[in-house]
Amino acid sequence: MSVVSLVSERCPACGRPHACPIRVHVGEGALLRLPELTADYRHLLLVADENTFEAAGAETALLLGDKLKKSIVFPGDRLLVPDETAAAAVEERLTDVDMIVGVGSGVIQDLCKYVSHRAGIPYLVVATAPSMDGYASDGAAMILGGMKVTVPSGLPYALVADTAVLSAAPAAMIRAGYGDILGKYSALLDWRLSHLVTGEYFCSAVHDETLAIVERTVAAAHAIAARSREAIGLLTEALIDVGFLMSYVGSSRPASGSEHHLSHFFEITGLVTGREYLPHGIDVACSTAVTAALRERLLAATWERRPLPTEEERHAALRRIYGPVAEGCIALQETAGSYRADRVPLYLQREAEIRALLASAPSSERILTLLREAGISMEEFTSLYGEDTLSDAVAYAKDLKDRYSVLWLAYELGIS
Ligand SMILES: [Zn+2]
Ligand SMILES: [Zn+2]
């Protein structure tokens, strides 16, 4: 089974169409395909930051020649936030442009995806690091009005990932990409859990293929850490393929669950309070150990109805944690009706089934071993955030998104 073989007008597993029209070039020398890929375009805008420009931007500019009319290179010394200001800086330069070429990883690509969709101008991805799985996904992870939102945007026109460039990426970015892949263990479990509890749409073919990608990547952990070009190619393909799988089902569900909500929590509260937070993939990887431990606490506990915080107490907690972003979370959950749904009777009725599902995911011990092998420090994560923030995250990260996960199950059963 491969990702491409799942393309179908009517998936045998879920009955929905799975399509993904995008040109992908992964491999050594992939950058050399740029002239032919942009042959039909005349006025290109290059978007990068100083680091990604150095990694592949200069070579991209050379290959695009005089069709490259404009460039925007963000400063490389501070974290670029994919917000309204950054989007406006790109949008200012779009006059007469017929294609956007994004050179970079996470934030640069999210920005290009978002701006491209709003302006109706195609964009091409030049990947610089195997650090995240958003290259081939159709959602742009943005921070708008202080909220972390995934804006449905189009797919890139083409994606170029040159393994010579990617294997020269900083080790921390390679670890982050590997960490984002490890997170799928938690995301896939949440998807199955939501299917069981809320009846959410589920595709077993997409689920199984995502899991197979995770296991292949985990098996190559040592070669990835040693940065062999072949292994970096495998990690890159894994990250891109996960993007396809998200596109097939029209949401990030196979790739993003409670572990991503926890990572969004650290990012958002970090931005609100000016506190440091870790790169996306590292937060996701460590949060995968957090959700595994939470599942274990659920399995060890007795399930019964316990008193929960009142609405007043909950709103006070959200305002304390999220500051100016709290009202957005409260409104989101109000619309979703999450707190009005009384799911405790369902949990008790289907307890055996839910427990069996929770027990089927890798244990926290297994995740911690995988983190150690990848050089990701759980100690750094726990000491950076501290116990109070971690318990706030487990209780209230779920309020950032309208998506069911093990965080809701634990909260509603009063287990923290
Ligand atoms: Zn399907
Ligand atoms: Zn991610």
Do 163 and 279 have their domain in common?
no
The CA distance from 213 to 216, in Å, is 5
For residues 154 and 16, state if they share a domain.
Answer: yes
10 Å CB burial of residue 152 (0-12, 13-18, 19+) is exposed
CA dist 112 and 87 (Å) reads 8
Strand pairing category for 139-144 and 147-152: antiparallel
Note whether residue 147 is domain-resident.
Answer: yes
Question: What's the chain's Rg over C-alpha atoms?
Answer: 21
Q: What does the pLDDT read at residue 4?
A: 77
pLDDT exceeds 90 at position 94: yes
Host H or E run for residue 31:
none
Report the share of the chain in percent with pLDDT over 70. Answer: 99
Ligand minimally distant from the alpha carbon of residue 253: 2
> Does pLDDT of 306 surpass 60?
yes
The string of pLDDT tens digits covering residues 253-293 is 999 999 999 999 999 999 889 999 999 999 999 999 999 99
pLDDT for 46-86, tens place per residue?
999 999 999 999 999 999 999 999 999 999 888 899 999 99
Domain boundary among 142, 169, 196: 169
Quote the crossing angle between the two packed helices 171-182 and 280-300, to the nearest 10°.
30
In the prediction, which pLDDT does 369 show? Answer: 97
Distance 40 CA to ligand 2 centre (A): 33
Instruction: Estimate to the nearest angstrom the gap between the alpha carbon of 19 and the chain centroid.
Output: 20
Do 303 and 165 lie in one domain? The reply is no
Task: Supply the range of the domain harboring residue 298.
Answer: 258-412
Report if residue 234 sits inside a domain.
no
| pLDDT at residue 20, as a whole number | 75
Domain assignment present for residue 248? The answer is: no
Structural domain includes residue 109? yes
- Do 143 and 288 reside in the same domain of the chain? no
Using the mean position of ligand 1's atoms as its centre, give its distance from the Cα of residue 216 in Å: 21
Ligand that lies nearest to the alpha carbon of residue 11, given by its number in the listed order: 1
Expressed in angstroms and rounded, the spacing between residue 200 Cα and the centre of ligand 1 is: 13
pLDDT surpasses 60 at 388: yes
Q: Are residues 266 and 400 in the same domain?
A: yes
Distance 370 CA to ligand 2 centre (A): 17
Given a cut of 60, whether residue 1 has pLDDT beyond it is: no
State both tokens at 149: 């939102």
pLDDT of 2 higher than 70: no
Centre of ligand 1 from the C-alpha of residue 204, in Å = 7
Which ligand is in closest contact with the Cα of 208?
1
CA of 8 to the centre of ligand 1 (A): 8
Q: Are residues 263 and 363 in the same domain?
A: yes
User: Closest ligand to 177 CA?
Assistant: 2
Distance 152 CA to ligand 1 centre (A): 20
Q: What is the mean pLDDT of the segment spanning 221-246?
A: 92
CA 257 / ligand 2 centre spacing (Å): 9
Give the residue from 134, 169, 204 where a domain finishes.
169
Q: Do 152 and 270 fall into the same domain?
A: no
Long-range contacts of 190-195 (CB under 8 A, 24+ apart): 190/257, 190/258, 190/291, 190/403, 190/404, 190/405, 190/406, 191/253, 191/254, 191/257, 192/357, 193/354, 193/357, 193/358, 193/404, 193/405, 193/406, 193/409, 194/253, 194/403, 194/404, 194/405
Both structure tokens of 285: 């990887």
Instruction: Judge whether 341 and 334 are in contact, CB under 8 Å.
Output: no
Classify strands 139-144 and 68-74 as parallel, antiparallel or unpaired: unpaired
- 332-384 pLDDT, tens digit per residue, is 999 999 999 999 999 999 999 999 999 999 999 999 999 999 999 999 999 99
> Ligand 2 mean position to 288 CA, how many Å?
11
Q: Is residue 114 part of a domain?
A: yes
Residues 20, 152, single domain; the answer is: yes
Rounded to whole angstroms, the Cα distance separating 136 from 347 reads: 36
What distance in angstroms lies between residue 350's CA and the mean position of ligand 1's atoms? 25
The chain-wide mean pLDDT, for the chain, equals 94
Residue found by looking up tokens 């923290």 in the block: 416
For residue 250, pLDDT beyond 90:
no
Confidence (pLDDT) at 319 = 97
- Residue 98's domain is classified under what CATH number? 3.40.50.1970
Q: What is the mean pLDDT of residues 403-411?
A: 98
- The answer to whether the Cα torsion of 262, 263, 268, 272 is positive or negative is positive
**Which ligand is closest in space to the CA of residue 184?**
2
> Which ligand is the nearest neighbour of the Cα of 139?
2
Ligand 2 centroid–CA 252 distance in Å is: 9
131 and 277, same domain (yes or no): no
- In degrees, rounded to 5, the angle at the alpha carbon of residue 223 between the alpha carbons of residues 217 and 228 is 115
> Structurally, how many domains does the chain consist of?
2
Note whether residue 217 is domain-resident: no
Q: Distance between CA 165 and CA 83 in Å, rounded?
A: 27
> Could you tell me if 146 and 325 are in contact, meaning their C-beta atoms sit under 8 angstroms apart?
yes
Q: For position 87, what pLDDT does the model report? A: 97
Position 396 confidence tier, pLDDT thresholds 50, 70, 90: very high
Nearest to 33 by CA among 165, 169, 159, 164: 159
Q: Kindly state whether residues 268 and 126 are assigned to the same domain.
A: no
How do strand 23-27 and strand 158-162 relate by DSSP bridges? parallel
| Residue 182 forms part of a structural domain | no
Cα–Cα distance, 336 to 183 (Å, whole number): 25
Query: What is the number of residues in the chain?
Result: 416
Looking at the structure, tell me whether residues 157 and 22 fall in a common domain.
yes
Same-domain status, 164 and 15: yes
Residue finishing a domain among 144, 169, 194: 169
Please tell me the distance between residue 21's alpha carbon and the centre of ligand 1 in angstroms.
17
The verdict on residue 200 lying in a domain is no
